[in-house]
Amino acid sequence: MIPWLLCALLAQAAAASPPPAPDPVPAALAAARAALDAGRPQDALQKLLALGHPEDPRVAHLRGVAEYRADDYAHAIERLTPLLGAFPAGSSEAREVEQVLGLSLYLANRIPEAIPHLEHTREWAADNMELAQVLGMAYVQTAQPDRARASLARTFGVPPDSAAAHLFAAQMMIRVERDAMADEELKRAIAKDPRLPHARYLRAQAALFRGRFDDAIALLKGELEVNPASAMALYLLGDAYVRQEKWGEAIAALQRSVWINPYFSGPYVLLGRAYSARGEPGTAEPMVRRAVEMDPNNRAAHYLLAQLLQQTGRAEEARREFETAARLQGP
Amino acid sequence: MSPLRARWARVALAVAAPALLAHAAPPDPRPWGVSLVDVGEKAGLRVASVYGGEASRRFILEANGTGVAWIDYDEDGRVDALVLAGTRLAPGGRQDVEWKAGEAPTNRLYRNLGRGAFEDVTERAGLRRSGWASSVCAGDYDNDGHLDLFVTYYGQNVLYRNRGGRFEDATAAAGLAAGRRQWGAGCSFIDYDRDGRLDLFVARYLDFDREHAPEPGCMWKGFPVMCGPKGLPTDVNQLFHNEGAGGFKDVSEASGVAKVTGRYAMSTVAADFDGDGWTDVYVACDTTPSILYRNNHDGTFTDTALESGLALSESGRTQAGMGLALADVDRDGLLDVLKTHFADDIPALYRNLGGGRFNDVATTAGLSVQNRHVEWGGGLPDLDNDGWPDLVYVTGNVYKEKGDWLKDYPDPGPRVVFRNRGGLRFEDVTDASGPGTAALHSSRGAAFADYDDDGDLDVLVMNMNAPPSLLRNDCTGCGHWLKVKLEGTRSNRAGLGATVVVRAGGLAQAQAVLSQSSFYSHDDLRLHFGLGTLKVADSVEVRWPSGAVDKRTHVPAGRTLVVRETTAPSGQ
């Protein structure tokens, strides 16, 4: 059919029809959006379901966003994927579809699929701190450390090639247990700035976890040279000595840690262990009780207290502490 | 002066305190002469143990694998190899593959022909059976002189009565048919009431409903993986009393065994943990506190794992208990305990302090240098016969979905070997223990025996979806040895639950005769003691589960000492 004829037919049909009913969609969408903005995604979803028109891209778009906000990533992905390209390029709808789809894929652990959408989103939201963090973590999870560092540097506001950028990248890698990748970043951070605090501490933490106690001790001594008042470094140093059964060194490090920061239960537990191992239960017990007092959910403290009580013949009290330690293991 | 300052003053003045617990002197300083060589293929152990998917594992049912056993089933004096197997889920489904006739995977029994060769005798021994086998334990429950077997399954556990080289399924006749869905895990024959008949302890892993189990979606290091055990319903353990005449009676409730709840129970060992002469049961539990069923001497048990120090890690944390082993690693005459765990953790090495109390010394013993592997079957065999039990465990990650991205957490993985250097110190000698340790497998069960009777301990290993490994110990410059085999009269025939203490050179070595150990596996019943440079053991003392004690003195090395129970229990 030729175009002019089609136009004529449409005009004729319009003239013959009764006046159209007002479009209910915009008002319903506005109400759903208001519910979303108020933090009520389920309410928004109910409004959208009541509206009908699921095939309407405007409805599907908001429904996908609501599902994402309701932590239903699988349905959000299902809803939003067909909408890529459904809205004019550069429109707020197109941007939101791509952004929410990228985030949903990330949170559904479909990380390689999430990355292109997050990268597109970054083109118009270069300064968005959260987006840079999510994209950085996606790069970490897909073993792209250089891209991860660049993105995370934006998040933390440091130059991408700086020692600090390597440190931040490493810290975020450790959060998702990518220890080997983190260690490389930390080595580069130290190479760029040998006096950078915290880098050796993080390396020492990994060394301790992997049973390389001598390495951990050397790294912690290095950390204390550049960060001498670090209570956590002293605590970790004490921990390493405890694992080597070097009780005197352990007690000295832990006591220093406590003097700097008396509000952390960890050193008290280890002091209790060290004194107990040295045959000083009378000194150990108040240390462990202090840890329990500060942190009633510290299962290690309750367990050690139970052992101390057992050793000193207070079986009933020990049994209660053992039971508390067991109960604190969680479901 | 504040309390803290006062304490600091004390610290500053303190001199290095002597070790509270004096450890024994280190063993002789000879070089490590152990070389483990996989001769499984050459020896004829060639059939793959099918167990779950090869490329991925959707459900925990496919992950745990199964055990192996060294048993002399035909009493010809040579230990034979039993290798259990599972089956596989239909692609994308929740039901098992429907195998063509004759192709269904089965457990395999390999008869030891001597001279390093084995033949597959599964059919004629009556052991063909397909299903999700978990563990095996052995014991002569009818005291007829033939070693019987109990094999646990996801589904119906099976009691195999040995009729003199051929097994018959005695499950129903013994009253052991399950009335409901169950996932049998570890098991141990145990004479808990000293009536001379072996009762049966059965652990249950969890209540797995394959129709409603969640699809993979749980996370491990950023990867969606199969779910469990956390989040899946637990089950309770069982105890069956041997009523004689081949029958068992369920006494799980009456004995207190079923009172312990909320655990994912795996391997078991039954031995006298507190030295009171009665056999207890220790159960390694996955991600929940482990259980020590202390024998109350009246037919009941109480879980004393927490106060005994065997429930949690050294810092009071639950661990993913898998396999278990007992030996006297510090040679003080008391049984110490090894328990294997998941990746990012280390095995527990519980030193026996006496009186039923234990202390985890794994970290200070040096075991934390290896902690990326999921540890399964393990043992404390004295591989070099220097008199100091060494430490071996086999590995294999359970998550295949991680692909190659986490190279630090390999699946397949190596076999890890630590040499006991004395003084409660172990040295990682994995790389110096021969090609059989470096070869990568996804292994589960492991069992120990001197299958070729050359005087050193070898290892049989179950590999997932692959033939078993037979790690022959080609030990050079290794020490003298002594084997001890028990024959109970008042006690059960195999002497299960007995503790044997060998004294030589001023030091003691304790071992126990176990129905199950390692991960879901069974070692040769002949206990193997290294004597180092000594050619004579001063004494061999047997503490029978009946309470009787037998003793032999001046026992020459290089032989198998058979000790028949002769004395009456004390007080009789």
| Mutation for testing the B interface, residue in A109, A316, A319, A327 having most B CBs under 10 Å | A109
According to the model, what pLDDT value does residue B2 have? 37
**A192 within some domain:** no
Distances from the Cα of B181 to the Cα of A39, B128, B207, B252, B524, angstroms: 45, 22, 8, 17, 32
According to the model, what pLDDT value does residue A1 have? 39
Kind plus residue range of the DSSP H or E element containing B460 = strand B458-463
Report the candidate in B441, B386, B382, B444 with the shortest Cα–Cα distance to residue B417: B382
**Tally: H helices and E strands in chain A:** 19, 0
Here the ipTM equals: 0.85
**Angle, CA of A204, A206 and A207, to the nearest 5°:** 60
Distances from the Cα of A103 to the Cα of A95, A134, A324, B64, B224, angstroms: 12, 8, 40, 35, 17
Residue A329 is nearest to which of B3, B289, B370, comparing CB atoms? B289
pTM: 0.88
pLDDT tens per residue across span B166-183: 999 999 999 999 888 899
- The DSSP symbol for B423 reads T
Band (B16; pLDDT cuts 50, 70, 90) = very low
According to the model, what pLDDT value does residue B15 have? 27
Band (B26; pLDDT cuts 50, 70, 90) = low
According to the model, what pLDDT value does residue A226 have? 98
B9 touches chain A (CB under 8 A): no
A vs B: CB pairs below 8 A: 95
Query: Which residues of A fall within a CB distance of 8 Å from B14?
Result: 248, 251, 278
pLDDT tens per residue across span B128-142: 999 999 999 999 999
Query: Which residues of B fall within a CB distance of 8 Å from A247?
Result: 16-17
Band (A176; pLDDT cuts 50, 70, 90) = confident
Our CA dihedral for B125, B494, B84, B245, rounded to 10 degrees, sits at 60
Query: Which two three-digit tokens encode residue A74?
Result: 């699988």
Band (A3; pLDDT cuts 50, 70, 90) = very low
pLDDT tens per residue across span A215-252: 999 999 999 999 999 999 999 999 999 999 999 999 99
Report the candidate in B521, B516, B526, B572 with the shortest Cα–Cα distance to residue B549: B572
According to the model, what pLDDT value does residue B143 have? 94
According to the model, what pLDDT value does residue A109 have? 84
B312 touches chain A (CB under 8 A): yes
**A215 within some domain:** no
Let me know how long chain A is: 331
According to the model, what pLDDT value does residue B206 have? 96
Distances from the Cα of A270 to the Cα of A20, A283, B116, B348, angstroms: 78, 12, 53, 19
- Under DSSP, is residue B336 helix (H, G, I), strand (E, B) or coil? strand
The residue in chain A having the minimum alpha-carbon distance to the alpha carbon of residue B223 is A109
**Dist. CA B458–CA B451, nearest whole Å:** 7
Kind plus residue range of the DSSP H or E element containing A42 = helix A41-51
β-strand partners of B480: B532
A289 touches chain B (CB under 8 A): no
Band (B373; pLDDT cuts 50, 70, 90) = very high
Report the candidate in A48, A45, A55 with the shortest Cα–Cα distance to residue A29: A48
What mean pLDDT do residues B369-383 have?
95
How many other C-beta atoms lie within 10 A of the C-beta of residue A8? 10
- Under DSSP, is residue A237 helix (H, G, I), strand (E, B) or coil? helix
**Dist. CA A72–CA A66, nearest whole Å:** 9
β-strand partners of B542: B500, B550
Q: What CATH number is attached to the domain comprising A75?
A: 1.25.40.10
B260 touches chain A (CB under 8 A): no
Distances from the Cα of B70 to the Cα of B84, B414, B458, B459, angstroms: 12, 22, 11, 9
Whether residue B7 and residue A278 make contact (CB cut-off 8 A), yes or no, is no
Distance of CA B308 to the CA centre of its chain: 20
Report the candidate in A173, A220, A174 with the shortest Cα–Cα distance to residue A197: A220
Task: Please give the single-letter amino acid code of residue A20.
Answer: P
The residue in chain B having the minimum alpha-carbon distance to the alpha carbon of residue A139 is B222
- Going edge to edge, which strands form the sheet with B265-271? B265-271, B280-285, B291-295, B301-303
**Sign of the alpha-carbon dihedral angle for A294, A297, A300, A302:** positive
Lowest mean pLDDT among A39-53, B214-228, B255-269, B543-557: B214-228
Q: To the nearest whole number, what is the mean pLDDT of chain B?
A: 92
The set of residues, in sequence order, having a beta carbon less than 8 Å from that of A91 and lying 6+ positions away, is none
**Dist. CA B455–CA A265, nearest whole Å:** 53
Report the candidate in B422, B430, B427, B478 with the shortest Cα–Cα distance to residue B450: B478
Report the candidate in A177, A204, A159 with the shortest Cα–Cα distance to residue A168: A159
**Dist. CA A311–CA A288, nearest whole Å:** 14
| Mutation for testing the B interface, residue in A303, A316, A323, A327 having most B CBs under 10 Å | A303
Query: Which two three-digit tokens encode residue B45?
Result: 């152990």
| Mutation for testing the A interface, residue in B1, B232, B291, B307 having most A CBs under 10 Å | B307
Query: Which residues of B fall within a CB distance of 8 Å from A274?
Result: none
**Dist. CA B271–CA B110, nearest whole Å:** 28
Strands B426-428 and B443-449: unpaired
The residue in chain B having the minimum alpha-carbon distance to the alpha carbon of residue A290 is B4
A211 touches chain B (CB under 8 A): yes
**B 325-344: CB under 8 A from A:** 344
pLDDT tens per residue across span B459-499: 999 999 999 999 999 999 999 999 999 999 999 999 999 99
Band (B27; pLDDT cuts 50, 70, 90) = low
Distances from the Cα of B515 to the Cα of A152, B326, B336, angstroms: 56, 12, 17
pLDDT tens per residue across span B43-58: 999 999 999 998 888 9
**Dist. CA B529–CA B440, nearest whole Å:** 29
**A45 within some domain:** yes
**Dist. CA A309–CA A318, nearest whole Å:** 5
Band (A48; pLDDT cuts 50, 70, 90) = very high
**Dist. CA A9–CA A243, nearest whole Å:** 88
B408 touches chain A (CB under 8 A): yes
How many other C-beta atoms lie within 10 A of the C-beta of residue B499? 27
According to the model, what pLDDT value does residue B232 have? 94
Residue B316 is nearest to which of A176, A277, A325, comparing CB atoms? A325
- The DSSP symbol for B519 reads T
**A59 within some domain:** yes
Let me know how long chain B is: 572
Evaluate whether B300 touches B308 at the Cβ level (below 8 Å): no
pLDDT tens per residue across span A245-299: 999 999 999 999 999 999 999 999 999 999 999 999 999 999 999 999 999 999 9
Evaluate whether B523 touches B449 at the Cβ level (below 8 Å): yes
Residue A322 is nearest to which of B306, B344, B370, comparing CB atoms? B306
**A264 within some domain:** no
Largest CA distance in chain B: 85
pLDDT higher than 90, residue A22: no
**A107 within some domain:** yes
| Mutation for testing the A interface, residue in B234, B302, B304, B312 having most A CBs under 10 Å | B312
A316 touches chain B (CB under 8 A): no
According to the model, what pLDDT value does residue A230 have? 98
A259 touches chain B (CB under 8 A): yes
Residue A326 is nearest to which of B8, B311, B357, comparing CB atoms? B311
What mean pLDDT do residues A24-36 have?
92
Task: Please give the single-letter amino acid code of residue B54.
Answer: E
Evaluate whether A278 touches B17 at the Cβ level (below 8 Å): yes
Residue span of the structural domain in which A56 resides: 25-125
**Dist. CA B333–CA B538, nearest whole Å:** 14
According to the model, what pLDDT value does residue B182 have? 95
- The DSSP symbol for B273 reads S
Band (A127; pLDDT cuts 50, 70, 90) = confident
According to the model, what pLDDT value does residue A118 have? 96
pLDDT higher than 50, residue B5: no
**A159 within some domain:** no
Query: Which residues of A fall within a CB distance of 8 Å from B364?
Result: 243-245
Band (A5; pLDDT cuts 50, 70, 90) = very low
**A63 within some domain:** yes
Counting the structural domains of chain A, the total is 1
Evaluate whether B491 touches B196 at the Cβ level (below 8 Å): yes
